[in-house]
A and B are shown apart, each in its own frame.
Chain A
Amino acid sequence: MEAINNLLGGSTVPDVLFYVFAALTLLCGVLVIANPFSRNPVTSAMFLVLTIISMAGLFVLLHAFFLAAVQILVYAGAVIVLFLFVIMLLDLKEEERRKIKIFGLIAGLISVGAILGIFLKNLHATNLNAQPSPSIEGDTAALGKLLFTNYVLPFEVVSVLLLVAMIGVILLSKKKLD
């Protein structure tokens, strides 16, 4: 931990790393949703893994070490594996390249445009000269302390939620729904 901190403590290295990780994240993100070379969902899933790993890099740059680890463990390790399982279970063939519907394109652009407008408007309206706080360290100890003091009730509730999800999935996956 100390070593990484020291490595990234300089002024320019993290900035460079930020651009690298950001570019990687966005590039992989584009390839998740629109891969010009392959329409196979498996490819999308693999690029999603890459996106998530580079996001973990961004998390590290933001000193959220615990979350970076969880991100890789849970997303890359569990969620994506689940996706792959389902893809294989359904035996989805590489889908034929359907023509992009003009309506879908227009709708997507309008949505993104609308959100972009709001985003830019608020980005300009807000004064963002906040400096990164040196005291914030998202390490396991700090997060754990917070989780088991202030957030102990949501923590417990989330465990129940996971249980519910588990039971729901078992019920849904049974052959007969009755």
Chain B
Amino acid sequence: MHVGLEHYLTVSFLLFALGLLGVIMRRNLIVIYMSLELMLNAANLALVAFSRFNDKLDGQVLVFFIITVAAAEVSVGLALIVALYRRRQSAHVEDLTSMKL
């Protein structure tokens, strides 16, 4: 079977679902962060596939920006985790329930 857009989209979706499961089920903050990266990559893959099959480079430019923003986001997010860890001595979401009244 010839590989078409839907194949790439399926891979993208599965990767996204994996990331989602990781975010919802894992409790280690760092792993949750990695799962977020997975989800971002899934989106990237879909965008590049669209770009290829729609004859437009703009999708790839968008991916370029996403990678940049993701890098910035990871650095800030990890800095936050470090700051949080310093204060709470824990990187588990179950220990971080101060939002509850």
- Our verdict on whether A and B bind, yes or no, reads yes
A interface, over-half SS: helix
Selected contact of A136 from candidates B25, B57, B64, B83, CB within 8 Å: B57
List residues of chain B with CB within 8 A of the CB of A14. 3
Number of residue pairs A-B, CB distance < 8 angstroms = 217
Taking residues whose C-beta sits less than 8 angstroms from the other chain, chain A's interface range is 35 or more
Contact status B78-A83, CB under 8 Å: yes
Q: A82-B74, A108-B25, A115-B16 are in contact. Are A22 and B11 (CB under 8 A)?
A: yes
Interchain CA distance A74-B91 in the complex, whole Å: 25
Residue of A nearest to B26 (CB): A33
Selected contact of B74 from candidates A25, A67, A79, A119, CB within 8 Å: A79
Interchain CA distance A166-B19 in the complex, whole Å: 26
Any A CB within 8 A of the CB of B96: no
Interchain CA distance A48-B30 in the complex, whole Å: 12
Q: A82-B75, A115-B17, A169-B76 are in contact. Are A33 and B60 (CB under 8 A)?
A: no
Report 5 cross-chain contacts, Cβ distance below 8 Å, ordered by A residue.
A64-B48, A71-B44, A136-B51, A138-B48, A166-B75
- What 9 A-B pairs come out closest when comparing CB atoms? A33-B22, A165-B72, A133-B55, A172-B79, A130-B53, A108-B24, A169-B79, A62-B52, A29-B18
Chain A residues engaging chain B, CB cutoff 8 angstroms: 11, 14-15, 18-19, 22, 25-26, 29-30, 32-34, 41, 44-45, 48, 51-52, 55, 58-59, 62-64, 66-67, 70-71, 74-75, 78-79, 82-83, 86-87, 89-90, 92, 95, 98, 100-101, 104-105, 107-108, 111-112, 115-116, 119, 123, 128-133, 135-136, 138, 142-143, 146-147, 150-151, 154, 158, 161-162, 164-166, 168-169, 172-173, 177
